[in-house]
Amino acid sequence: MSSTVTNTLRARSDRFEPEVEPDPAEQRKLRGHLDQIDYVAYAANRAVVGQALASVELRAFERVAIATAHARANWITTVVKMTETGAALSAEQITQVAALRIAFDEMTEAYDAMRRLVERGYMHYQPKP
Alpha-carbon Rg for the chain, nearest whole angstrom, is 22
pTM of the model: 0.73
- Report the candidate in 28, 29, 25, 53 with the shortest Cα–Cα distance to residue 113: 53
Q: pLDDT by residue for the chain (129 residues), tens digit each?
A: 444 445 555 566 677 776 777 789 989 999 999 999 999 999 999 999 989 998 899 999 999 999 999 999 999 999 999 999 999 999 999 999 999 999 999 999 999 999 999 999 999 998 876
Contact 111, 42 (CB under 8 A): no
List the domain boundaries for the chain.
57-119
In DSSP terms, 3 is beta-bridged to 12
Q: How far apart are CA 46 and CA 42, in angstroms?
A: 6
Classified as helix, coil or strand, 71 is helix
